[in-house]
Amino acid sequence: MRSRSSITRSALAFATIATVTAVPATAQQASTPASGLRAELIHDIGTLEEKYLGLAEAMTGKYDWRPGEGVRSVGEVFMHVAGANMYIPSMAGVEPAEAFRGLEGQEAFAKLGELEQQTDEATIKETLREAFAYAKDAVGSVPDDQLDGATSVFGMQTTNRVALLLLVTHMHEHLGQAIAYARINGVVPPWSAGS
């Protein structure tokens, strides 16, 4: 479990991201690639979406549970993932989801924190659905010839490819956290229930 201070540092890093190059506006139209890295990422995001939405349903009534003081609750983890899904693509030059448009620095940081405070379970589930749909469209909108384009992620010079990989690895990181939360609460992840 990460401490609140390390969570705050992570969120602050989100807020200090400066994109060096942006994908041209014409590339912002979502297209689903048939093969290659983007197709593989979109497929993985689809699998993650099913697991998150399954856990979100299975954890109904437990969204306020947290393993300790200063650690994200179940609902906060879901909303943290949703917020990241709507914001991380901007690191690859994709226009952020509507909730983050025009926000940078402390404003983006504040929006991430605000999203995590949502407590209505139906709203959390719907936001997760929208955020996963947005993430898939965002990955599809970065043309292959822009994957090696330069960008800055957490102050490090890197590529749009790395930003898209961060999007997906972040989802995997918190899926593990959500699974642990479920197991501690006696909830078997739906995809494991038949095993």
pLDDT digits (tens, 9 = 90+) for 132-182: 999 999 999 999 999 999 998 878 899 999 999 999 999 999 999 999 999
105-108 long-range Cβ contacts below 8 angstroms, 24+ apart: 105/15, 105/16, 106/15, 107/15, 108/14, 108/15, 108/17
Torsional sign, CA 131, 132, 133, 134: positive
Q: How far apart are CA 21 and CA 93, in angstroms?
A: 6
Share of the chain above pLDDT 90, in %: 67
Q: Is 189 exposed, middle or buried (0-12, 13-18, 19+ CB in 10 A)?
A: middle
| Range 54-73 average pLDDT | 97
Q: Residue 195 has what pLDDT?
A: 59
Return all residues near 114 (Cβ < 8 A) that are at least 6 apart.
none
Q: How far apart are CA 36 and CA 140, in angstroms?
A: 11
Is the pLDDT at 8 greater than 70? The verdict is: no
Is the pLDDT at 7 greater than 70? The verdict is: no
Is the pLDDT at 92 greater than 90? The verdict is: yes
Is the pLDDT at 26 greater than 60? The verdict is: no
Q: Residue 34 has what pLDDT?
A: 78
Q: How is residue 24 written in tokens?
A: 């041209």
Contact 101, 86 (CB under 8 A): no
Q: How far apart are CA 165 and CA 161, in angstroms?
A: 6
Asked if residue 88 is part of any domain, the answer here is yes
Per-residue confidence at 15, pLDDT binned at 50, 70, 90?
Answer: very low
Contact 190, 58 (CB under 8 A): yes
54: containing domain:
4-16+37-187
Is the pLDDT at 184 greater than 70? The verdict is: yes
Asked if residue 31 is part of any domain, the answer here is no
Asked if residue 21 is part of any domain, the answer here is no
Asked if residue 195 is part of any domain, the answer here is no
Is the pLDDT at 24 greater than 80? The verdict is: no
Asked if residue 157 is part of any domain, the answer here is yes
User: In terms of Cα–Cα distance, which of 136, 163, 177, 167 is closest to 52?
Assistant: 177
Q: How far apart are CA 60 and CA 84, in angstroms?
A: 22
Asked if residue 29 is part of any domain, the answer here is no
Q: How many domains does the chain have?
A: 1
* 7-20 core/surface letters (b: 16 or more CB in 10 A; e: else): beeebeebbebebe
Asked if residue 110 is part of any domain, the answer here is yes
Q: How is residue 94 written in tokens?
A: 């994709």
Record the pTM. Answer: 0.82
Q: What is the CATH number of the domain that holds 116?
A: 1.20.120.450
Q: Residue 31 has what pLDDT?
A: 65
| Range 66-70 average pLDDT | 96
Q: Residue 16 has what pLDDT?
A: 32
Is the pLDDT at 17 greater than 70? The verdict is: no
Mean pLDDT over all residues of the chain?
85
Asked if residue 118 is part of any domain, the answer here is yes
Give start and end residues of each alpha helix (H) in 16-159: 37-58, 74-87, 105-116, 121-141
